[in-house]
Copies of this chain bind each other. A is one copy, B any other.
Amino acid sequence: MTQPSDKALVPFVSVDNMMRLVHHIGLEQMITQIATQIESDFKRWESFDKTPRIPAHSPHGVIELMPTSDGEAYGFKYVNGHPKNTSEGLQTVTAFGLLADVYTGYPTLLTEMTMLTALRTAATSALVGKYLAPKSATTMAMIGNGAQSEFQCLAFKAMCGIDTVRLYDTDANATAKCAANLQGKGLTVVACKTPEEAIEGAQIITTCTADKKNATILTDNMVGPGVHINAIGGDCPGKTELHSDILLRSEIFVEYPEQTRIEGEIQALDSDHPVTEMWEVMTGQAMGRTDDRQITLFDSVGFAIEDFSALRYIKNAIEGTDFFEPLDMLADPDDPRDLFGMLMRAG
């Protein structure tokens, strides 16, 4: 075997290494640190090249590319969304991501992002919760108890002072799974039989269901004043979770309006319906929650900058560790014009 040069080797974080890294740092600690990175990147929003993600839709699901760049680093994520996968024993969402150096165009990190997406989604939700949820919030309703649910619960515990979670899923086995996983994690966990039961006494309602259709997880009469809704399941054209009457009663906050109007809950509203961008709240250019009877709604679809933040976090976190392996992914001949000579010498 020929020996690739250093430049040809891209650090790769496998699923196994990502899980080792999470245990090394601590899950809640890592979510909190990723949130800090996201917040810092949201605060310099205008330094990023932004574009709605590029989707490939099919009757079976969607495959998306989510690129962004701050002029120094370039990052993108590959992610699929296939709600029907669960019934076939597969993940609804799998993902991987890449960072590259804008100056050379050379990749500098390749990593699994199925696990990392769960972490960054939870980090984003709880970060936004810090800005929008009632300060006195202690109880969260978690509606949809699939792969993301435990990460959401622990992120709100770590960052927003939640001590009780009330779980509901149309599939009682999912609720039982989530409840069992959260045992001993410092939360009071209440398994509920209806969505109405789940939202009793909750100051925060997180919806994370996965059907690729317009569903009505929450109806208008279920949502009382002062609640913060963290709606993360509606993230595709034709895939929403909330009745539009709730939207009309809420102050709506989004990541990137150009993408959210295509994919989020607000696809049900007029295209000029007012929304507030979270980066403006974080920089103090816009108001977050203004009174304690207001309903705040984070219409979250997931944006490329969150992945960029997570990728940069991982790149820093693995430096000097053995949580990665070098991948021979780039041809890098001694003479850059001599790709052919490199090939011939390998013969």
Contact = CB atoms under 8 A, between A and B. Distances in A.
B56 A63 contact: no
Contact of A94 (B51, B90, B105): B105
Contact of A341 (B14, B86, B181): B181
A86 B347 contact: no
Contact of A15 (B51, B91, B328, B335): B328
A82 interface: yes
A187 interface: no
Interface residues of A, number: 85
A4 interface: yes
B336 A151 contact: no
A1 B16 contact: yes
A104 B82 contact: yes
A103 to B, nearest CB: 5
Given A63-B102, A86-B337, A100-B80, A115 B329 contact: no
A2 to B, nearest CB: 6
A112 B23 contact: no
Contacts of A8: 15
A27 to B, nearest CB: 8
A279 interface: no
Copy number in this complex?
2
A96 B115 CA distance: 23
A224 interface: no
Contacts of A89: 336
Interface string A206-247: 000000000000000000000000000000000000000000
Contact of A331 (B51, B56, B115, B181): B115
B15 A94 contact: no
A317 interface: no
B107 A96 contact: yes
A337 B177 contact: yes
A310 B114 CA distance: 27
A316 interface: no
A341 B27 CA distance: 13
A14 B343 contact: no
Contacts of A332: 90-91, 94
A-B residue pairs, 5 tightest by C-beta: A80-B105, A114-B331, A150-B340, A14-B328, A19-B346
24 contacts: A2-B16, A4-B14, A19-B346, A19-B347, A58-B71, A60-B102, A60-B103, A65-B65, A65-B76, A78-B98, A80-B106, A86-B337, A89-B336, A90-B104, A92-B336, A94-B106, A94-B107, A112-B328, A147-B338, A150-B340, A151-B339, A174-B337, A177-B335, A327-B327
Interface of A: 1-2, 4, 7-8, 12, 14-16, 18-20, 22-23, 27, 49, 51, 54, 56, 58, 60-63, 65, 67, 69, 71, 74, 76, 78, 80-82, 85-86, 88-92, 94, 96, 98, 100, 102-107, 112, 114-115, 118, 145-151, 174, 177-178, 181, 327-333, 335-344, 346-347
